[in-house]
Structure 1
Amino acid sequence: MSNLNRDVLFMIFEELQDDSKFLFSCLMVNRLWCEIVIPVLWRKPWCYDINYRNKNSLYTIITSYLSDDVKEFLRKKGIQISSQSLTFDYLSFCKSINVKIIDEIISIKYLTEYNRFILQEEIYSFLIRKCPEIKYLNICGTYELVYLPESKVRLESICELTCDTSIDPKYHYRISHICQQIQRIIIINNNYKVNHGTTKLIEFQKNLKYFKWVDKFDDDEDLYIDLLVDPYTEIFHILKKHASTLNHFEVSLQYDDYDYSDYYSIYNDYDYTFLQYTLLELHNLKVMKIESPIFLNSNEFENELKKVTYRNLEILKVGIIDIYQATSMIKNSFYLKELWIDNYYKNYDMFAGDSFNFIRAICENCFLIEYLSIPTFPLLEDYCIEFEKLLKKCQKLRSLHFKSTYYEENELEFGKYLLDVLIKEAPTNLNEIGIPYDIRLSLDDLEIFLEKWKGRPAISIIMGEISFYRGDNSYRKLIDRYKTEGVIKYTNIYY
């Protein structure tokens, strides 16, 4: 029975390995729990949301592993080293090295630059030899880990790499020759020019499945665009080589504020079309997350987009996209479970037809959808019929958010319609609705809705209106009452 309990506990801790608060609390339950959770915590001990710079205990653990000769050598240099014995062989479980975090831990001793370098030499050399099988490597730091003699053998097993583009290209060339089976690459872009080493790193991989790119420029927003010398095109072009294996594509581009009356004015300063044409090639994606300027409208791009079939796409999350382009992607995606669009851009002359086609595309293609954001559509009979069909067909729907389109004039009428149709047609799984400021809910309609919602799973309601609900305490009282009764789980009104 004790063996079974140990196995069950290990499976639970494995499932919750990213929940640091839970795992740390488990250390204090009893010795059995502590013995089981330590290997889980120490597999990737640098990934948790804690202040590593102030964790003297981690410095003590790491330096305790150094040999007596090394400790004595370092003490003579004035470096404080622990001689404390350890309860567990922590580093025997470690499969991760994060240069940035380990450097932060080392820095708590406020060493001179030279002594810091000596300590880094000893610690990283030891880590490379001690960690049994390094799977996760983060080299966004100061120490050139890959040049250690043991690195070639010890780093061949890397499956996840996080790096930045400010590193000397030769450093990336070295990694490219050592590690060619990396499945997940996360790149922090802090270089205004292309890093050819990063390009080679991507090119040399043989089984790349996960790619994440995050712009992180520290300069003033008004200055950075003048310094930008295309760090993107070469790298994103080489990604097309991995179209058959790549299933996760996540990009966050930093760009200047622009005139919101003309979303495309950003392209007057810089050409971001490298991204939209890369997406045309990545047909095996399961996850696509894009935070970037809006894609340009062009007949060439939109004709090609109609031809691309994202057969495996399950999650589509985009900051801003043209409704027409979003519809084209949905029509070719048959297993979509999450569709998160923060802002649907529209051509006012085409909005009526585009929004209708969008709703119909979801209704016809997205039977598995669980999380959905849609534009507020015109309150006309054809649209209402199509929306009600959507609710009937998408029985797995759990979260439904409407996005403002600055279109609807009858805000209260739309609110009443929405609440009525949700009571009538909403799938039983629906437990969250998001309502923007161009849909307003009267107090009476909201109370009728909540009263009829009783018996269903508790619902969360997010209402976005700057002034409509302000100063009327009746809404707060109503919401608090239905929270007490278990009808509402959570609510938020944006003021």
Structure 2
Amino acid sequence: MVYRLPADCISEIIEYLEEDKYTLYSCLLANRLWCEISVKVLWRNVWSFYQQRPLRVALSILSTLIACLPSESKELFHKNQILIPTPTSKSPLFNYAAFCKVLLTHKIIRLVDDFFKGSLSVNSLSLKNRKDLVVNEIIKMFAKQIYSLRKMTYYCSNINFTFAHFPGVQDLTELCCSSNLPSNFFHQLSKICQNLQSISIEFSNDVSNGLIELISLQNNLRSLSLIAFDLNWENIIPVLTTHSNMITKLHLYSGVVSSPLSFVKSFSKLQEIIFTFYEETDYEDFTKLEYIKFPELQILKFPTLCPKSDHVIKFLENNGTNLKNFYTSESDNALRLSIAKYCPNLKNLFIVFKNGELNILKSIFSNCQNLESIKIQCGKWYLAEKDVLETIATYSLNSFYKLKLYNVNRRSDLSPGDLESFFINWRNRTSKKLLEFIVIKNENYIHLDECEENMKIIKKYENLGIIKLVIKMLCDEEKDEEEEYYYYYC
């Protein structure tokens, strides 16, 4: 007798595989039930497949969406001589649009742009009008079909957005938008959606009353991102501070036009702060924060420019005790020393070590005894890979398990003997944690994995369960380090 798992059990298993796209693809081929469940998971955020994928993937997504459109939309396309091929002449197996929980309007615009790239207008409609027509029909379909929307991005004001027939928007928890959208858009949304947990605003126009109303009516706002290049966020600060006792994550992008930072001191519950600065003038206001204590702060990042080190050191003196994650590309010696002194509970760290500063790295391992992960640049003016490995083998404690190495030299200086010595030391540690050994590659350089003898050593210790080698391209690593925010200028 063949035993079959109940459908809800299969669904839970496949849900668990959400991040494992390749296994999900295999599930599509098992049977009708597995296929249907897998398709729902894969289409939940279908836009993730579009990121850095070949054009054929983008066109495949678009053609599937076109196949799902109602007949009146297809007739409208036919009338205006818009011919977008579909995978089959028959109706799709599933209503794919209904499975989506993430609606990224900028991605839809790009999909359509990619299809029409190089096209010439062959009828009375201009190319722009034809593209707008396709975009709006697709969005109209999503509005009617999505029964539970979790995330939406909306930057382009020439999209015909209406909530009259959009039942799924009531479940919206994350909104990324531009300040230049019509005030009525925010006004309509505020009547339906009052439980947003995350809002990201790109400032490209003065703040409207509708946007202020939307923010003021939220009951569960936890995460806030402000992006300002041409305008600052000063006008919206009063309504933001009404949520100061609830917001736990704050990400500030500032460039070209300096934006005030002093308002941050009112957010006493912050657990994560990311300051992304592009001009030195952007962080002048940081001096007003260096003496402020954020008792729950665990994550602090400066992905680009960093304020002057003495101000950051003072900030760490007041807030370093609870920090779990610290990231900066600043190369100041005093700042590196302050980490060991003021941040004893760090778990994840990225900071630049100059050549000759091996003792600082040792000091950090000695004083930050919960450190689990570190990212280190090696070569040229920085530490040598061999010295880094020897230091980690000797000074890292049992909690440590993840090492990221990026060699700025054109060729790795690690020999097979260096690697084997390090792996033997790791195998002999009291803790038997698998080491996640991440090599960050620049496509123009020769890295340790491109040496046959090195790879033999690595494979040997992978097979023994001592290490796990992960190869990442530099461009992908930089994207992982920085939260993704998308801009589409119309």
Q: Distance between the aligned counterparts of 1:474 and 1:182, measured in 2?
A: 45
Q: Distance between the aligned counterparts of 2:216 and 2:6, measured in 1?
A: 46
Q: Verify: 1:280 aligned to 2:265, yes or no.
A: yes
Q: Verify: 1:182 aligned to 2:159, yes or no.
A: no
Q: How does 1:145-224 map to 2 (within 5 A)?
A: 145-147=160-162, 149-151=164-166, 155-189=169-203, 191=204, 193-196=205-208, 198-214=211-227
Aligned to 1:343: 330
Measured at CA, do residues 493 and 380 of structure 1 come closer, stay the same or move farther in structure 2, by a change above 3 Å? same
2:397 to 406, 410, 426: 426
In structure 1, runs of 5+ residues without a counterpart are 218-227, 256-269
Q: Verify: 1:357 aligned to 2:338, yes or no.
A: yes
Q: Is the 8 Å Cα contact of residues 68 and 97 (structure 2) preserved in structure 1?
A: no
Q: Distance between the aligned counterparts of 1:73 and 1:92, measured in 2?
A: 22
Letter in 2 for 1:339: F
Letter in 2 for 1:398: E
Q: Distance between the aligned counterparts of 1:126 and 1:463, measured in 2?
A: 42
Q: How does 1:439-454 map to 2 (within 5 A)?
A: 448-454=421-427
The normalised TM-score by structure 1 is 0.69
Measured at CA, do residues 326 and 482 of structure 1 come closer, stay the same or move farther in structure 2, by a change above 3 Å? farther
RMSD: 4.9
In the TM superposition, residue 432 of structure 1 has moved relative to its aligned partner by 0.9
Q: Verify: 1:400 aligned to 2:369, yes or no.
A: no
Q: How does 1:15-30 map to 2 (within 5 A)?
A: 15-30=16-31
Q: Distance between the aligned counterparts of 1:478 and 1:26, measured in 2?
A: 38
In the TM superposition, residue 245 of structure 1 has moved relative to its aligned partner by 1.9
Other structure's SS at 1:144 match: coil
CA deviations 1:90-110 (Å, max 9, x no partner) are 334333433333445556477
Other structure's SS at 1:55 match: helix
In the TM superposition, residue 254 of structure 1 has moved relative to its aligned partner by 4.3
Q: Distance between the aligned counterparts of 1:459 and 1:250, measured in 2?
A: 28
Letter in 2 for 1:231: N
Identity of aligned residues (%): 18
Measured at CA, do residues 123 and 115 of structure 1 come closer, stay the same or move farther in structure 2, by a change above 3 Å? same
Letter in 2 for 1:359: A
Q: How does 1:197-276 map to 2 (within 5 A)?
A: 198-214=211-227, 228=230, 230-236=231-237, 238-254=239-255, 270-272=257-259, 274-275=260-261
In the TM superposition, residue 359 of structure 1 has moved relative to its aligned partner by 0.6
Aligned to 1:482: 457
Q: Distance between the aligned counterparts of 1:97 and 1:464, measured in 2?
A: 33
Q: Distance between the aligned counterparts of 1:288 and 1:170, measured in 2?
A: 31
Q: Is the 8 Å Cα contact of residues 64 and 84 (structure 1) preserved in structure 2?
A: no
Measured at CA, do residues 41 and 399 of structure 1 come closer, stay the same or move farther in structure 2, by a change above 3 Å? same
Q: Verify: 1:371 aligned to 2:371, yes or no.
A: no
In the TM superposition, residue 48 of structure 1 has moved relative to its aligned partner by 3.0
In the TM superposition, residue 285 of structure 1 has moved relative to its aligned partner by 2.6
Measured at CA, do residues 119 and 490 of structure 1 come closer, stay the same or move farther in structure 2, by a change above 3 Å? closer
Aligned to 2:15: 14
Letter in 1 for 2:274: K
CA deviations 1:450-475 (Å, max 9, x no partner) are 4433456345265999xxxx999999
Letter in 2 for 1:290: F
In the TM superposition, residue 34 of structure 1 has moved relative to its aligned partner by 0.6
In structure 2, runs of 5+ residues without a counterpart are 475-490
Other structure's SS at 2:398 match: coil
Aligned to 2:488: none
Q: Is the 8 Å Cα contact of residues 128 and 154 (structure 1) preserved in structure 2?
A: yes
The normalised TM-score by structure 2 is 0.69
Aligned to 1:258: none
Measured at CA, do residues 104 and 178 of structure 1 come closer, stay the same or move farther in structure 2, by a change above 3 Å? same
Q: Distance between the aligned counterparts of 1:323 and 1:332, measured in 2?
A: 15
Letter in 2 for 1:419: E
Q: Distance between the aligned counterparts of 2:358 and 2:90, measured in 1?
A: 75
Measured at CA, do residues 237 and 324 of structure 1 come closer, stay the same or move farther in structure 2, by a change above 3 Å? farther
Q: Is the 8 Å Cα contact of residues 125 and 148 (structure 1) preserved in structure 2?
A: no
Q: Is the 8 Å Cα contact of residues 157 and 182 (structure 2) preserved in structure 1?
A: no
Q: Distance between the aligned counterparts of 1:59 and 1:326, measured in 2?
A: 51
Q: Distance between the aligned counterparts of 1:163 and 1:310, measured in 2?
A: 31
Measured at CA, do residues 299 and 184 of structure 1 come closer, stay the same or move farther in structure 2, by a change above 3 Å? closer
In the TM superposition, residue 309 of structure 1 has moved relative to its aligned partner by 2.0
CA deviations 1:215-255 (Å, max 9, x no partner) are 6x7xxxxxxxxxx4x33322456433322222222234445
Q: Identify the range of structure 1 (9-18 vs 292-301) with the bigger mean alpha-carbon deviation.
A: 292-301
